[in-house]
Amino acid sequence: MWICQTNPEPRKNIVDEISKAHVNIVEVVHDRLSTNIPAGTAAGAYLSLEFENGDQSDLLIDLFRKQNINFKIVQ
């Protein structure tokens, strides 16, 4: 999950990093009502991603961390 801002630029940055890792986005679910979303934030989003192997997931995690993208892995 990541927290989206009203500005589209952070969302583009996340998609760019996913693309660099050659990972497929299977599903996006927006969450505007959950108690997990801080007040004044546009929305949270859950991304279902498809990985070919563990190396891709490790790469994506590294790319997100280098860009200071806050995320949480949920299963």
Rounded CA separation 71/60 (Å): 11
pLDDT at 29: 80
With residues binned 3-state (H G I as helix, E B as strand, rest as coil), the percentages for the chain, rounded to 5, are 35, 25, 40
User: Domains in the chain and their CATH numbers?
Assistant: 2-66 (3.30.70)
List the end-to-end C-alpha distance of the chain, in Å, as a whole number.
Answer: 11
φ/ψ region of 40 (left if φ > 0, alpha if ψ in -120 to 50, else beta) reads left
Q: What's the rounded mean pLDDT across residues 41-48?
A: 74
pLDDT in tens, 3-35: 455 455 677 889 999 999 999 999 988 766 666
pTM for the model: 0.74
